[in-house]
Structure 1
């Protein structure tokens, strides 16, 4: 049966969906100039065999009760009724809550489950744990920007101002002479944005800027990190050496008298300390272009020529998420700001410094006049937290102290983890270690729409609806269209939405009114829409009533052109509009950070050698970056995601020279390995990646041949089997999963089919 098209939205775009039997016809929003092909991952998703159809309980937990269990990830599941599942979940929550309080419960989840603002799984699970259980141990920051989000407030102020409001693509197209992009500006990243985006405009603005004369320069091991429309240059550095390269550039600018000393004196603190470090006055090491060349693989002459090109130009320095997702990831983020300041660029139209431009589709856009209301989270009764990427450390080392942003904290002893809307076996590193960590829990409860690796390690799996099976409102702070996300299909099998599940659990625990406030899902949507109307009415703006909005499917919201407002006002008058830093200025030296006493992140930016470097056993760098065919691991079984694989396996790109040295031909099944495990992938030979580097994107569902192995073999191609699970530094404890070292060889063992999308027994 064919139904009429309905409006819906995803993190990668707005669209119309039309049901045609078991499949969907997906038509992009007509006002989107460059729709994302990720929309095609929905076409066959509704009834995919990987969907979770019924509540399931792991056999070992069902038979033996809660407690640590090494069978997680390798056990069978038993189907139960919703009545039994809810009863068991409520009883276990009460048991742990009574015995250990909120400090025994970890509220997992990650914010990318749905573009809908109400059925936002992270908000739902946190509201439930706050209002029903009295609180929970929380995680802070993100895997994407864990280092930068802690560092930037110390040195330049609010991260949102720098990342989302620092500079607009319109400014770049009109004013920038050079866009120096450390980590590139890959369009695959700006295809997506939390809450959705209705207009993909980055490609068009890059084209406009290039035609006007803007020179885009991508500093990255991968040529693909800059689109053809930018007509730019590719400068290939050794992975993880951007900080050394920037120090070399600064040394040349100082030696040639090309720094803007007036800007540095008026708007910055700490420039003399930075100069002293470069000249070796601290430790006798002169960090000039020759020093940098040895580290980053670019000649000292090329570094000098590059630095001199920047002088006298309107230069925008951008630093991608990728750079700070590595050991000492704070340093290139900090040095990018220092480089922009040394050139006197912050606060100039189309110039200065911005973090993560191009990393998400929201960045570089104009902001809406008012924001769409969020679901209230309630009050957390405890202040116990971990940086999000330290989940395995917490579960493996309860009671152990750790450093974070000037605080000395202690890992709590977690008995129960509740996960909704996230897949840590995508985000996290060293998956064998992560599995060991989850085996320490008494109970792991997961809401999931499909049998991800996280669901396969859970004790209780509750089938959750997909976004296509519920109604919601899609919107984001920098998207001018508000989308009525109308349901495309009825819930699959016995699936229920998170709000319905939590409402029932709240009822059983005697806290239903506290959680629901007497509203069903439609009631919350109408409530939030009325709040939006009231916020706009204060600005004399009227929007249609909810019923008309729902029938139309989309409305347009007013926006303001406020890009760079903080840094522009600061440049105009630093005394009247100081930055929200301790000094009110750009902090090239931070007395606050220096006071923490962290050797791995001192008071000014430095070069620190990583513990991971190529050697005889593991001579190749591995870049584990974001995929081009899906968002994270979402809908990995989708049509577009599968089109990027070969024989069902993820594709690993390697330089033709490295392949030839190993007897590898295009299309061969290859094995990537190191001390943490082994991964199979299909080889793709290219010269668009520098020699000595291989690239395998994240997001392939973890598919170990033996889930209990100390060094597992993933036959599907998940690089986080291989990545190292350590914090970026004691300051931020961010994720270090972007870069590791491996050896690669043509696989000589038995090639078994990928089974990632086959449900467990």
Structure 2
């Protein structure tokens, strides 16, 4: 018996039944993994898996958790029958195992998901995007029509009208990559380029904070350097949820804390899993008040002479009046702001900070003294604080605190930013071409560029550079976005703010005239495309996999194709090659190479930068190559000789006071409620803790967090993970009781933008007045428009942050009621 699964792809009944078995058996998995939210730090069991497997090949989990775990696919009867973890290395940091978390281990349920896109789809004429009215068409028709429409839009509007959507579903791929580089971006570059973006949904605020303060994106010391630290602070960072694979922080941070006995403090509005499993103390605060907490800490440090004045004098701009840049107003230093000599006249005492943050005065003073008396301290700043409407200032404040402590450039210290690692360098000639379109918009403002792109300029987030690489002060877009290319992306709907508003914009195809999406799952974003192309899973193609966060260990993986493409799916390289043929640039695009040829060249080109790196064939056989590159110490050269190794800021120093931001504050015409400040001040914004006090209709703050059951929305449709990690909204008992809400109740979370239905978790682990709903749940509206998936983005506001024009998805006011 055979079962049709595509026009020219058939599967035996035996294989089909194995696929069906893969989708079942969830109770057994949940029984074994319900208490395994993240890997432990003990010795893994030695196992070779199925003895009757026909082959075992190396691959990896390619999604955007930051880890990039190796996987071993065991193949039988043409199907992936079992997924095994990395079995190389040991428990010694620098050559440690990289066992995948339950997400990667459940990848078979993604490969064989009923949500797989099986054939090319075209939106039926006369229907609206999102109506889910499709015609199944041939690849030839799909590619012919896409190429024709693309060429017409290029002729009418130019390459600036073509937008490559933010996409991290295949972030770890190289030829198949969806983030920086990859086949689709290469194709668009060869055709004259595309409108790109700066920043991203993960790091938009902190990226801008680092740029204006440190001169660019600079990760901090790697976590293995904790052996030199006297205090460890995780600020808005929960690696036990976000980096929970065995090769990332969930493994080595726990091990280092245990081995060094370093005191660990977590700053977070939530009593997160990292607080439970890693911390000696939890400093809780209201969302959006981190800069106020730091100002209160700074007041103690200054008053008790616990800051590093010599470091601030030599390496920083704007902490004191004497180091302000020329033209800065009097009393505009950070010291003046903290001590009450600045324009607002408010002394930022611990008592003041407590009134803003809700953190007890004694806790603030104690925390400040611990920081001041335990140097160097390692402050690892996560990406939670910067995802608020005032996120740039929150992130800048944390970097400023780190500078006050003199931690910069020292073993055991760091830059006060996200944890870094000592990575393997991958040199990809495949991605070497520059984008001919130099203008960029924020990753978050593409709806504005669709709606009124030709009106957007510098104060709206448009950026451009001259031929020498110097930024142009007030660039402007010439045309709106007329086409969106989305590959491995769910940001058109699911991951973007204000889903209901975004839907209405995308439904108007007179604005954006073409949306092409390639994926292997029918996501909510796919439902708003004009053409949906079935892409392969990583089990169905080979590539060079770029590593994730692994402390002092660099590693590289060669992934091998395990099974033939399912249904009518094609690799993105094959799709782009076919499009290139229709566009008359096939030879220029492929250079006569197959995808494997490119992968071989990438490994060969990378060997010179990585001594000891094996060749392609050897690496393919061994699967993963690991090398101890030593601890990363961020800005070591700058600390040793700041004149010979200046930062890429105007002064070459750490700019606590930013003259660039001061100029923008004077010249930009910002929407009401938006403020940018030269210093990392506490800023009140729309729908923040202060607004909640007077909003009787929506009095609760709502933040989000990254969830163990998903990586953003990837794996969000896997039944095993949905059972093991239920979507719930946390609400404090003091907020639940007057609403008659008990633990486990179904509730409706709502505001003026939308409604979502979800289970309530009544817990003191969230700050009173605050709720938290994990991001990434798949949008699933009922006939009345109420999201049944429990996702937060029907509630979040589309309002780009003032400075970075980033996503403020942790600044929201809501109400909660029993369903």
1:501 maps to which residue?
575
Aligned length: 707
State whether structure 2 residue 805 is matched by structure 1 residue 740. no
Instruction: Say which SS state the counterpart of residue 758 (structure 2) adopts.
Output: strand
2:455 maps to which residue?
400
Checking the alignment, whether the CA contact within 8 Å between 2:423 and 2:547 is kept in structure 1 is: no
Q: 1:531 offset after TM fit, Å?
A: 1.4
Checking the alignment, whether the CA contact within 8 Å between 1:34 and 1:200 is kept in structure 2 is: no
1:718 maps to which residue?
791
Query: Cα deviations across residues 683-709 of structure 1 (Å, max 9, x unaligned)?
Result: 222222222222211111111224xx7
C-alpha change, 1:299 and 1:327, in structure 2 (3 Å) is same
Q: What is the alpha-carbon distance in structure 2 between the residues aligned to residue 561 and residue 241 of structure 1?
A: 36
2:334 maps to which residue?
274
C-alpha change, 1:346 and 1:551, in structure 2 (3 Å) is closer
Question: Bigger CA drift: 510-519 or 542-551?
Answer: 542-551
C-alpha change, 1:340 and 1:482, in structure 2 (3 Å) is closer
Instruction: Say which SS state the counterpart of residue 215 (structure 2) adopts.
Output: coil
Residue 697 of structure 2: which of 617, 631, 640 is its match? 617
1:340 maps to which residue?
402
Q: 1:112 offset after TM fit, Å?
A: 3.5
Checking the alignment, whether the CA contact within 8 Å between 2:275 and 2:281 is kept in structure 1 is: no
Q: What is the alpha-carbon distance in structure 2 between the residues aligned to residue 205 and residue 328 of structure 1?
A: 29
Query: Cα deviations across residues 197-247 of structure 1 (Å, max 9, x unaligned)?
Result: x82354333343345331111111111152544242111101111111111
- The within-5 A match list for 1:555-704 is 555-556=625-626, 558-561=627-630, 563-565=632-634, 567-597=635-665, 600-613=675-688, 614=692, 615-644=695-724, 646=726, 650-704=727-781
2:6 maps to which residue?
none
Residue 476 of structure 1: which of 524, 529, 547 is its match? 547
Instruction: Say which SS state the counterpart of residue 58 (structure 2) adopts.
Output: strand
Q: 1:287 offset after TM fit, Å?
A: 2.2
Q: What is the alpha-carbon distance in structure 1 between the residues aligned to residue 99 and residue 272 of structure 2?
A: 18
State whether structure 2 residue 441 is matched by structure 1 residue 386. yes
Q: 1:628 offset after TM fit, Å?
A: 1.2
Q: What is the alpha-carbon distance in structure 2 between the residues aligned to residue 388 and residue 265 of structure 1?
A: 36
Q: What is the alpha-carbon distance in structure 1 between the residues aligned to residue 308 and residue 196 of structure 2?
A: 44
Q: What is the alpha-carbon distance in structure 2 between the residues aligned to residue 270 and residue 427 of structure 1?
A: 37
Instruction: Say which SS state the counterpart of residue 684 (structure 1) adopts.
Output: strand
- The within-5 A match list for 1:227-376 is 227-272=275-320, 273-278=333-338, 279-314=340-375, 315-357=377-419, 363=420, 365-368=421-424, 370-373=425-428, 375-376=430-431
Query: Cα deviations across residues 371-411 of structure 1 (Å, max 9, x unaligned)?
Result: 34362253433333211011112112232234137843445
Q: What is the alpha-carbon distance in structure 2 between the residues aligned to residue 209 and residue 44 of structure 1?
A: 35
1:547 maps to which residue?
617
Instruction: Say which SS state the counterpart of residue 252 (structure 2) adopts.
Output: helix
Checking the alignment, whether the CA contact within 8 Å between 1:241 and 1:295 is kept in structure 2 is: yes
2:184 maps to which residue?
125
Q: What is the alpha-carbon distance in structure 2 between the residues aligned to residue 6 and residue 582 of structure 1?
A: 50
C-alpha change, 1:640 and 1:234, in structure 2 (3 Å) is farther
State whether structure 2 residue 113 is matched by structure 1 residue 48. yes
C-alpha change, 1:723 and 1:24, in structure 2 (3 Å) is farther
Checking the alignment, whether the CA contact within 8 Å between 2:422 and 2:631 is kept in structure 1 is: yes
Q: 1:427 offset after TM fit, Å?
A: 2.4
C-alpha change, 1:576 and 1:734, in structure 2 (3 Å) is same
Checking the alignment, whether the CA contact within 8 Å between 1:218 and 1:225 is kept in structure 2 is: no
Q: 1:329 offset after TM fit, Å?
A: 0.7
Instruction: Say which SS state the counterpart of residue 218 (structure 1) adopts.
Output: strand
Gaps of 5+ in 2: 1-14, 16-52, 63-67, 89-96, 321-332, 464-471, 667-673
Give RMSD over aligned pairs. Answer: 2.3
TM-score, normalised to structure 1, is 0.88
1:91 maps to which residue?
148
- The within-5 A match list for 1:143-222 is 143-159=201-217, 162-163=218-219, 166-172=220-226, 174-191=227-244, 199-222=247-270
Checking the alignment, whether the CA contact within 8 Å between 1:367 and 1:561 is kept in structure 2 is: no
Checking the alignment, whether the CA contact within 8 Å between 1:644 and 1:651 is kept in structure 2 is: no
Q: What is the alpha-carbon distance in structure 1 between the residues aligned to residue 615 and residue 368 of structure 2?
A: 56
Q: 1:307 offset after TM fit, Å?
A: 1.5
Checking the alignment, whether the CA contact within 8 Å between 2:55 and 2:76 is kept in structure 1 is: no
Question: Bigger CA drift: 590-599 or 249-258?
Answer: 590-599
Q: 1:322 offset after TM fit, Å?
A: 1.1
Instruction: Say which SS state the counterpart of residue 297 (structure 2) adopts.
Output: helix
Q: What is the alpha-carbon distance in structure 1 between the residues aligned to residue 609 and residue 313 of structure 2?
A: 42
2:482 maps to which residue?
415
1:13 maps to which residue?
69
Instruction: Say which SS state the counterpart of residue 150 (structure 2) adopts.
Output: helix
- The within-5 A match list for 1:446-465 is 446-465=517-536
C-alpha change, 1:572 and 1:390, in structure 2 (3 Å) is same
Query: Cα deviations across residues 125-182 of structure 1 (Å, max 9, x unaligned)?
Result: 2111111x211111222111112212312212332xx31xx2122211x122222222
C-alpha change, 1:200 and 1:281, in structure 2 (3 Å) is closer
